[in-house]
Amino acid sequence: MTTKVSEKITNNLAEIRQQLQILAEESQHGQSVKLLAVSKKHSLDAIKAAIAAGQMHFGENYVQEAVDKITQLKEHIPDPVQWHFIGPIQSNKTKDIAQNFDWVQSVEREKIARRLNEQRPDSLEQLNILLQVNIDDDDNKSGLAPEQVEELAEYVMSCSKLKLRGLMTILKAGTTEEQRKQSFQHMFRLYEQLQQTCGEQIDTLSMGMSGDMRQAVLEGANMVRIGTAIFGERES
Ligand SMILES: *Cc1c(COP(=O)(O)O)cnc(C)c1O
Q: Which CATH number does the domain housing residue 87 bear?
A: 3.20.20.10
Chain segment 124-175, per-residue pLDDT in tens: 999 999 999 999 999 888 899 999 999 999 999 999 999 999 999 999 999 9
CA angle 225, 230, 233 (to 5 degrees): 100
CA dist., res. 64 & res. 37, Å (int): 18
Chain segment 27-36, per-residue pLDDT in tens: 999 999 999 9
Chain segment 50-73, per-residue pLDDT in tens: 999 999 999 999 999 999 999 999
Return the pLDDT at 140: 87
pLDDT above 90 (res 236): no
Q: 124 C-alpha to center of ligand 1: Å? A: 27
Is 236 among the domain residues?
Answer: no
Cα-based distances in Å from 136 to 17, 110, 146, 205: 28, 21, 9, 16
User: Mapping DSSP to helix (H, G, I), strand (E, B) and coil, where does residue 48 land?
Assistant: helix
CA dist., res. 110 & res. 66, Å (int): 23
Return the pLDDT at 235: 82
- 128 has which bridge partners? 103, 163
Is 83 among the domain residues?
Answer: yes
User: Mapping DSSP to helix (H, G, I), strand (E, B) and coil, where does residue 65 land?
Assistant: helix
Q: 141 C-alpha to center of ligand 1: Å? A: 13
Chain segment 80-119, per-residue pLDDT in tens: 799 999 999 999 999 999 999 999 999 999 999 999 999 9
Mean pLDDT to the nearest integer, 31-43: 97
Is 198 among the domain residues?
Answer: yes
Return the pLDDT at 17: 98
* 220 in Cβ contact with 181 (< 8 Å): no
Return the pLDDT at 4: 86
Q: Is 225's C-beta closer than 6 angstroms to any atom of ligand 1?
A: yes
Closest listed residue to residue 212, CA positions, set 18, 11, 23: 23
Give the helix/strand (H/E) hosting 105. strand 103-107
Q: Is 142's C-beta closer than 6 angstroms to any atom of ligand 1?
A: no
Domain total in the chain: 1
* 187 in Cβ contact with 205 (< 8 Å): yes
Q: Identify the domain containing residue 67 by its residue range.
A: 3-231
Is 29 among the domain residues?
Answer: yes
pLDDT above 80 (res 234): yes
CA dist., res. 42 & res. 58, Å (int): 11
Mean pLDDT to the nearest integer, 220-232: 98
78: confidence class by pLDDT, cuts 50, 70, 90? low
Closest atom, ligand 1, to C-alpha of 211: 7
Closest listed residue to residue 41, CA positions, set 10, 4, 86, 77: 86
Return the pLDDT at 2: 81
Chain segment 180-218, per-residue pLDDT in tens: 999 999 999 999 999 999 999 999 999 999 999 999 999
Q: 36 C-alpha to center of ligand 1: Å? A: 10
Q: How many residues does the chain have?
A: 236
User: Mapping DSSP to helix (H, G, I), strand (E, B) and coil, where does residue 129 land?
Assistant: strand
